[in-house]
Structure 1
C-alpha cells in the first residue's frame, strides 16, 4: 500500500519550461498547441451555432458531451492500440482523419447545411479523434523527456491546453463576429494538418523494446486488469472524478451565462473563456512553486474551495468584471488538480501499460466531463442556471473535503523501472505462446515464527501478479505439511506468463518477491501446469539430451 502524502515533498524545483530545451519535444509541443487552439475555436463555433436554437441549454451542453463522450467509450481501446502499434503512425493517421472531418464541417457550414443533429455528429467524430490521440501522445512524452522532467512536461501540456483555451475562443469570437462560423472550422482543419506534418517529421531514435506485439484483445484485457488491481491508480482516478463532475458545470453552461445573464455576444463569451485559460496558465506555472509549499492534499482542498467559490459567484453576480476576476482562480484550481493527478499517473505507470493506464485516466476525466455536462444542462433546463451552479458549488466543496478521506498517494521512492524475473523459466516442454490458461504453483517452506511476515509479503505479491496478468490468485497450505504454503495463480495464456517474466515486472515488484523468498527456507518449488491437449514440443536442450 502506498502511503498518503501528508508531508511536503522535498524535491528539487524543475522549471515548467525545462522540457522545451529538447528540440523534438519543442516542435511537437508547438504543433500540438496549434491543434489545441483549433479545437477550442471549433468548440466555440459549434456552441455559438446552437445558442439561439430552441432547447439551447441542452443542445449547447451536448456539444461538450458529444466531444467528450468518445473518451468514455474509446479511450481504453485507444490505449491498447497505442501500446500495441507504432504510436507515431497512429497519431499521424488520426490527425489526417480529423483534417477530413474539419473540412467537411467547414464546407457544409458555409453552404448553410448544418442542422444541430449533424453538428453534434461531426463533433462526436472530433471526439473520436481526440480519444485516439490523447493516450498515444501521453505515452510518447516519456520517450521525449527525462523522468525528472515529466511533471514539468505535464504542466506544459496544461499550458498548451489553456493557452489554446485563452487564445482560441478569443480568435473564434472575432472571426464569428466578422466572417461567421465557417472560417473557424476551416482554421481547425489547418491546425490538425500542422500537427500531422510535425509528427511526420519526427523520427524516433530507437524502436520500442517489444519483441512480439500483444494481440489487441489481450492487450485490452491486460490494461483493464492492471487498473482494476492497482489501488494507487484507482485512488488517483477517484480524486480526478470527484473534482471533474462538479467542475464541468462551468465549462458546459458558460455560453448560457454569457448570453443570458451577462448579455454578451460571441466575443464576450470568448473573453470569459480567455479568463479561465489565463488562470489555468498561471496555475501551471505556479505548480512547481505550490508543490514546495503545500502538500498535495492541502492544495486539493484549497483548489476545491476556490473553484466552488467561483461557481457561486458566477451564479449570483451579473457584473462582468467581477465574473472575469472570479474565473481566474477557477482556472488555477483546474490545473492544480488535474495536471498534478495526470503527472502522478504518468510517473506511477510502468512503460508496458502506460498508454492503457493513461487512457483510463482520460476515460475518467473526459467521461466525467461528458456526463457532467449533460447532467448540468438538464438541471439548468428544469431548475434554472442559478440552481445548477449552486448545486455544483456545494458538490465541489463536499468533494474537496473528501481529500481528507481519499488523499493522494505519496509516490516518492516507488520504483517502476523494468526488472528481469529471477529465476528464469526452465521447462522441459516448450508450449505454443497462444495456449492457455496456464496454472502456476509456487511452493514455499516457511517456519512458524516467520509466517506472519511472509503472509504480509505475499499480499504485495498477489497485487503485482494480478496487475501483470493473473486472472485468479490464491495462497494455500498443505494439510500434510503445514509449513508448506503454495501460491497458485491462473494466467490466460503462456504468452501472458512470458510477459510477466520479461517486460511487465518492475523493480518494486522484484523487491517484494525477493522479500518473500528471504522469509522462506531455501528456494521455492515452481511448477507450470499446461492444458493437457496443448501443442507442446521438447526444448532444444532436452531434445539434444
Structure 2
C-alpha cells in the first residue's frame, strides 16, 4: 500500500515570523527602541538650536550621527562574526542606555551645552554603529530561511512606523515638558531591549578551525565581497540607488519651504505619508513575492523614484505630492528589503555580519555623497534642475540590471560541506606558521582543456574568496596532460579555516572541475609549508612537504 503523501507545508506570509516568540519579542523591543531613537533625533536637534546661534553646530548634529557609521561599520561586522552576538547586543544596548540617560539628567539639571549635546550624540552614534550589523544578523537566527524575507520586511516596517510617530511624539514632549524627558525615555527604551535580549536563550555556536584574529577577519570580509559576484552586484546597485534617492531625502524640505512656501507642518505630513506608504508596502510584499523577483522589484523601485524626483521638481499641488510620497514609501520598502534579503541569503554564517556591514557602509556612502552632490547642484542651478538630474540618474541606473542582475538566493545551501579530510601533518604546526601552498594534480585530456579551464576559473574564485591570496593552474611541460591547480594561503590556520568555509553549494563547482580528471586515482593533493618557519612574507626558500588529503 502506498503511504499517504505528506501535505506540503503552508507558504510563509508576512505574519509568519510573528509565530516565533523570540522574533516577536525582539521585534516589539526594536520598535520601541526605534521610536525612542527618532524622538532622540528631534530632541537633540531642537536642543542644540535653542542652546546656540551657530548654524554650523546644528548642521554638525547630522555628522555626529552618521560619522560613527563610517568609522565603525566594518569593525562592528568583524566583531559580530567573532564574538557571541547576544553578548555584544547586551553591551551596545547598555552603553546607549547609559549615554541617553546621562544626557537626559544633564539636560533636566541645566548642565548641558550645545557641544555637550554633540558629544553625547556622537557617543550614541557609536553605539548604533556597533549595534546595527549585529541586530540585522540576529534575524537570521530567529526564523527559518523561508520566512526570512518577511522577517526583514517586518524590520523595515518597524523602522517606518517609528519614523512616522517618533518625531511627533518627541515634538509633543518637548513642547509640553522638556527635551531632557525625551532623552530619559530613549534610555528606558534601550533598557527594555536589553531585557528582551538578556532573556533570549541563544543556541551556542560551534566554531570550526582556529579562531580568527580581528585584522584578519576584516580582510576576510572584504575579500569575500570582492570575489562574490552576487554580493558585488548588490553593492553596486545599492550605491546607485541610494545616491539617486538622496535627492528626495535631502531636498524635500527645501521643496516645501522655498518652492511651495509652506510650513514645517507640511514637511512632517510629507514624511508621514512616506512612512505610511512603506508600512502599506509591507502588506503588498506577499503577493509581489509570488509574482516578482528581487531583480524586478528593484527595477520597479528605481523607476518609481525617477518619478518621485520628477514630481518634486514639477508638481506644485501639495496634495498630489502627498500621494507621490505614499507610493515612494512603497517603492522604498520594496527595494531596501530586496537588497537586504539578497545579501543575507547569499552569505554563509561565518562572514554574515561583515558582509552586512559593508552593505550598510556602501548605502550610507551613497546617501552622503548623493546629498552633497544634489545639494551643491541645487545651489549652483536650481532645485528643479537638481531633482530632474537625479531623476535622470535613476533612469540611467536602471540599466545596471543588465550587468549586475539580482541573483536568486532562496535555494542556496550555504552550510559547511565539511568533506575535506585533514591532511597528514605534524600536529605541532602553529596556526600562525606560513605561508602555505596547496597543489592539486589532475590528469586532463587535451580535448577537455577549454572546458576544464573555464571550470577551474570558477573554482579559483572560490579559493580566493575563502582565504587564498593567489590561485591558478599550471601544466607540466614534460607531461602536458598533467595540470596542477595551486593556491597560496597566508598561514596554516587560515588554510584550516578554508576547510570549513567551503559550502555545500560550492561542491557543484568543485565537481565540475573533477569531472575532467581522467587518472586512475583521485587527484593528488600536496601541502607545502614554508621552511624554516617564518613570518608571513614571501621568501624563496626550500619548502617542507606535507603529503595527504585536504
TM-score by length of 2: 0.87
Could you say which residue in structure 1 is the equivalent of 2:15?
17
Aligned ranges for residues 398-413 of structure 1 at < 5 Å? 398-411=396-409, 413=411
Give the match's secondary structure for 1:27: helix
Q: After TM superposition, list the pairs within 5 Å mapping 1:383-394 onto structure 2.
A: 383-394=381-392
Give how far 1:350 is off: 0.7
- 2:482 paired residue number: 484
In 1, the alpha carbon distance for the partners of 2:183 and 2:445 equals 71
Task: Give, in angstroms, the shift of residue 107 of structure 1.
Answer: 4.2
Task: Report the Cα distance in structure 2 between the residues aligned to 1:186 and 1:381, rounded to whole angstroms.
Answer: 39
**Matches of 1:532 and 1:212, distance apart in 2:** 21
2:472 match: secondary structure:
strand
Structure 1 residue 91: deviation in Å?
0.9
CA contact (8 A) 2:239 2:365 kept: no
Match of 1:507 in 2: 504
**How far does the alpha carbon of each residue in 1:346-380 deviate from its partner, in whole angstroms, 9 at most, with x for none?**
11101111111111111111232233334444444
Q: 2:71 aligns with which of 61, 70, 73?
A: 73
**1:46-82: CA deviations, max 9, x gaps?**
44457798785x8776544442332232211111100
Distance 1:492 1:511 in 2: 26
Specify whether residues 211 and 453 from structure 1 end up closer, same or farther in structure 2 by C-alpha distance, changes over 3 A only.
closer
Deviates most, 47-56 or 366-375:
47-56
> CA 1:21–1:394 in 2, change beyond 3 Å: closer, same or farther?
same
Contact kept, 8 Å, 1:173 with 1:270, in 2: the verdict is: no
Q: Which residue of 2 aligns with 1:29?
A: 27
Tell me: CA distance 1:526–1:404, structure 2 relative to 1, closer, same or farther (3 Å).
Answer: closer
Q: Which residue does the alignment assign to 2:539?
A: none
C-alpha distance 165-81 of structure 1, shift in aligned 2 (>3 A): same
Q: What is the Cα deviation at residue 398 of structure 1?
A: 2.1
Question: Structure 2, unaligned stretches of length 5 or more?
Answer: 1-8, 535-543
CA contact (8 A) 1:169 1:274 kept: no
Bigger mean CA deviation after superposition, 87-96 or 300-309: 300-309
Residues 36-185 of structure 1 aligned to structure 2 (within 5 Å): 36-48=34-46, 63-110=61-108, 111=110, 113-115=112-114, 118-185=116-183
Local SS of the residue matching 1:489: strand
Q: Does 1:296 align with 2:267?
A: no
Contact residue 175 and residue 184 of structure 1 kept, 8 A: yes
| TM-score, normalised with respect to structure 1 | 0.88
Report the 3-state secondary structure (helix = DSSP H, G, I; strand = E; otherwise coil) of the residue aligned with 1:531: strand
Deviation per residue, 1:209-234 (Å, 9 max, x gap)? 45653221111111111111111110
Shift of 1:275: 1.4
Take 2:177 and 2:414, find their aligned partners in 1: how far apart are those partners? 52
Q: Secondary structure at the match of 1:166?
A: helix
Once residues 307 and 61 of structure 1 are traced to their aligned partners in structure 2, the CA distance between those partners, rounded to angstroms, is 26
Change (3 A) 1:302 1:64: farther
1:182–1:390 CA distance, 2 compared to 1 (3 A) = farther
Q: 2:270 aligns with which of 245, 259, 272?
A: 272
1 CA distance for matches of 2:404 and 2:209?
A: 39
Structure 1 residue 119: deviation in Å? 4.2
Displacement of 1:180 in angstroms is 4.8
Q: CA deviation at 1:512?
A: 1.6
Q: Decide whether aligned partners of structure 1 residues 159 and 264 sit closer, same or farther in structure 2, where only a CA change above 3 A counts.
A: same
- For residue 7 of structure 1, what is the aligned residue in structure 2? none
SS of equivalent residue, structure 2 residue 244: helix
- Report which structure shows greater RCO (CA 8 Å, sep ≥6): 1
Question: What is the number of equivalent residue pairs in this alignment?
Answer: 524
**Contact in 2 for aligned 1:51/1:256 (Cα 8 Å):** no
| Cα distance in 2, alignment partners of residues 149 and 342 from structure 1 | 14
Of the three residues 311, 314, 322, the one matched with 1:313 is 311
**Maintained 8 Å contact 2:154/2:282:** yes
**Do 1:85 and 1:213's aligned partners in 2 also have CA atoms closer than 8 Å?**
no
Give the Cα separation in 2 of the matches to 1:45 and 1:222: 40
Matches within 5 A, 1:146-545: 146-210=144-208, 212-261=210-259, 268-411=266-409, 413-428=411-426, 430-502=428-500, 504-520=501-517, 521=519, 522-534=521-533
SS of aligned partner of 2:406 = coil
Deviation at 1:122, TM superposition (A): 3.6
CA contact (8 A) 1:440 1:489 kept: yes
Q: Which moved more, 1:122-131 or 1:359-368?
A: 122-131
Cα 1:260–1:96 shift into 2, 3 Å: farther
CA distance in 2, matches of 1:253, 1:60: 17
- State whether residues 477 and 484 of structure 1, in contact with CA within 8 Å, keep that contact through their aligned partners in structure 2: yes
- Worse-superposed segment, 244-253 or 492-501: 244-253
Q: Distance in 2 between matches of 1:380 and 1:34?
A: 37
Q: Say whether the 8 Å CA contact 1:61–1:373 is kept in structure 2.
A: no
CA contact (8 A) 2:210 2:496 kept: no
